[in-house]
Amino acid sequence: MSTSNFNMRNLIPALAIATTSLFARQAEAVAANPLPKPANITWGAPAAFAIDTLSLNAPNHDVLQAGFARATKAFSDLNWIPQATEAPVRSFAAYPTPTGTASKSKRQYGNYTGSLTAVNVQITNTHATLDHGVDESYTLDITSGSDTIEITAETVYGALHAFTTLQQMVINDGSNKLIIEAPVSIVDAPLYPVRGIMVDSGRNFISKQKMFEQIDGMSLSKLNVLHWHMVDEQSWPVEIEAYPQMTDDAYSPREIYTHAIIKDIVDYAAARGVRIIPEIDMPGHASSGWKQVDQEMLACIDSWWSNDNWATHTAVEPNPGQLDILNNKTYEVTGKVYKELANLFPDSWFHVGGDELHVNCYQFSPLIRQFFDSGKTMGDLVQHWVDTAVPNFRKQANKTLVMWEDVVISSDAAASGLVPKDIILQSWNNGLENIYNLTRDGYRVIVSSADFMYLDCGYGGWVSNDPRYNVMVNPNKTDGTPNFNFGAGGGSWCSPYKTWQRIYDYDFTQGLSSEQKALVQGAISPLWSEQVDDTVISGKMWPRAAALAELVWSGNRDAQGNKRTTDLTQRILNFREYLVASGVGAAPLMPKFCLQHPHECDLYLDQTALYKTAA
């Protein structure tokens, strides 16, 4: 697009460039270390660019101009000094001689002359909509002697990513001057079209402001999909105009997502390049809300969930309930709920659940007991759901359906026949094995493997009146076998806690053919909210979600194919501080000593220790 058609915005705090000597020592690296690491980034010879004022020359597009305004406002508001910078590991004295002191050198910046006066943005398609597969690539160039930052992108969403990269490269030189440290050239694009987190507002309510906070973190780390698990057995916080009584099962009148609030969240996300995929889990995890419409279309809602005998449990957690698959009213109500919400969320994908169905629950349904007595199986029942519900959903709205993998691959509740291949399956069990099997069978897959990506794992159990904790000694101390309280999960079914390194090291396409790899759409890290509300959501989500963000944006390996987890260390430590400064309540990953002493908190001094996969 011709620059003559660009819209000029002046007097926004931003970049002015001057060329000078950057470091006292030529070999020293730049301090800026944007996350996720761009696919290709090349820094020029040290020559810093100082910051003064900047104009935007870009197409007249509200999303683009608002994104630029946010980025440039962050320059001046944060006045950012990198809190964790990359540097080679220092030398240590050989054992047993006491170690020497760390060698610290202060980065020196010179005087700045000349100025960068503009950011020029060229976009090929300003009409592209935010949806699956939208082009998010961009280039960013600052050349020696130039007075402009040049950005190109296919769509405004690529340009938004360019702005967040630029935002992380603008730093304070230590004398209260904002700079970019050197000429730079970036050619960047994501590895996967689906890069996201999951928020669960069914177990505990998450306020609009905290939803905004998660979206802010996503935008900064280039995550583009917010999977919103809206309701569950415990509560129904979503306004449904067709059945207003459903919100009688919200925790309180203050803990309801009205249509207006939903629109606010959708709009806030879209302005930052984040899609929202809503989930209404069906036919399992169904009690609250649904029972206010018609209790006859539910099974086992009055049962004791664990039955004090796990062999006859009706749910994996309280409170129990599943939609009665053989009750015709089920399809009338689910169809209306789906249609209303499908109209509120503009994304072309909609998640309809499908996980964790329990045959014991259906023993409470006379219709289904009769079905089983006739020789039919649980798989046949699930197939009836697929054959009836899926066409009903598609009749209500033209959306691509997403389901949990259970409907195809569960050991005790998979459909006995065909599940349409155009349904996208979210894989959460058995890691690489399930990913392999689903893609082998031709399904598109979103990776959410619990062993690597569940952010709620490792916090212990939460159900009460649990005698398993009433143990004073380790009964297995003699043979070393882990038990509930000593060395095992302590009540967290997916223990241990998933560290940022665990997430980043996950090679989830390992062992797949090229055809299978093409079916992997990306990854989403879920944070289930049994032990999560506004007070802790950001600390449990961030900065670990940023490790996923880089994994699915540019991968976890360097140009030589080696794991670069150690290279990520200072980058993610610095990014955590940047999140906190930006209003996202990210948790600390290490003592602050580790930020200030690069690689001195590594387990191995050998910086190639990760080049080989552990057994």
Q: Say whether pLDDT at 5 is over 60.
A: no
- What is the percentage of the chain residues whose pLDDT exceeds 90? 81
pLDDT digits (tens, 9 = 90+) for 564-588: 999 999 999 999 999 999 999 999 9
DSSP three-state, residue 268: helix
pLDDT digits (tens, 9 = 90+) for 272-298: 999 999 999 999 999 999 999 999 999
Contact predicate 31/108, CB 8 Å: no
Q: Say whether pLDDT at 597 is over 60.
A: yes
Q: Say whether pLDDT at 509 is over 80.
A: yes
| DSSP letter string, 115-126 | ---EEEEEES-T
Mean confidence (pLDDT) of the chain: 92
Q: Say whether pLDDT at 100 is over 50.
A: no
Q: Residue 114: what pLDDT?
A: 54
pLDDT digits (tens, 9 = 90+) for 350-374: 999 999 999 999 999 999 999 999 9
Q: Say whether pLDDT at 20 is over 80.
A: no
Q: Residue 101: what pLDDT?
A: 46
Q: Say whether pLDDT at 26 is over 70.
A: no
60 CB-contact burial (10 Å; exposed 0-12 / middle 13-18 / buried 19+): exposed
The Cα–Cα gap between 547 and 240 comes to 36
State the average pLDDT over residues 388-394.
Answer: 98
Contact predicate 542/576, CB 8 Å: yes
Predicted confidence band at 10 (pLDDT cuts at 50, 70, 90)?
very low
Q: Say whether pLDDT at 508 is over 90.
A: yes
State the average pLDDT over residues 240-255.
Answer: 98
The domain made up of 194-464+471-596 has a fold known as TIM Barrel (3.20.20)
- What is the percentage of the chain residues whose pLDDT exceeds 70? 92
Q: Say whether pLDDT at 258 is over 50.
A: yes
Q: Say whether pLDDT at 97 is over 60.
A: no
Domain boundaries, the chain: 40-88+108-188, 194-464+471-596
Q: Residue 610: what pLDDT?
A: 93
Q: Say whether pLDDT at 118 is over 70.
A: yes
Q: Residue 113: what pLDDT?
A: 53
Residue with the two structure tokens 């067709």: 242
Predicted confidence band at 234 (pLDDT cuts at 50, 70, 90)?
very high
**Catalytic choice (28, 255, 332, 356):** 356
C-alpha distances (whole Å) from 249 to each of 39, 81, 232, 285, 512 are 47, 47, 11, 14, 44
The domain made up of 40-88+108-188 has a fold known as Chitobiase; domain 2 (3.30.379)
- The answer to whether the bond into 391 is cis (omega within 30° of 0) is no
254 CB-contact burial (10 Å; exposed 0-12 / middle 13-18 / buried 19+): exposed
Q: Say whether pLDDT at 49 is over 60.
A: yes
Identify the CA nearest to 168 among candidates 30, 45, 66, 44: 30
Q: Residue 480: what pLDDT?
A: 81
Q: Say whether pLDDT at 486 is over 90.
A: no
- The answer to whether the bond into 34 is cis (omega within 30° of 0) is no
- What lies within 8 Å, CB to CB, of 10 at 6+ separation is 53, 55
Q: Say whether pLDDT at 17 is over 90.
A: no
Element (H, E) at 378: helix 378-396
Strand-strand pairing, 275-279 and 298-299? unpaired
pLDDT digits (tens, 9 = 90+) for 413-461: 999 999 999 999 999 999 999 999 999 999 999 999 999 999 999 999 9
DSSP 244: G
State the average pLDDT over residues 130-159.
Answer: 96
pLDDT digits (tens, 9 = 90+) for 70-82: 999 999 999 999 9
State the average pLDDT over residues 462-472.
Answer: 92
The Cα–Cα gap between 1 and 151 comes to 12
State the average pLDDT over residues 248-258.
Answer: 98
| H runs (alpha helix) in 271-376 | 290-293, 328-344, 359-362, 366-373
Predicted confidence band at 105 (pLDDT cuts at 50, 70, 90)?
low
Amino acid at 69: A
Q: Establish whether 356 is a catalytic residue.
A: yes
Q: Residue 612: what pLDDT?
A: 76
State the average pLDDT over residues 457-482.
Answer: 88
Q: Say whether pLDDT at 52 is over 90.
A: no
Q: Which of 301-310, 435-444, 590-599 has the least mean pLDDT? A: 301-310
Q: Say whether pLDDT at 195 is over 70.
A: yes
Identify the CA nearest to 241 among candidates 255, 230, 223, 256: 256
Q: Residue 613: what pLDDT?
A: 67
Q: Say whether pLDDT at 98 is over 60.
A: no
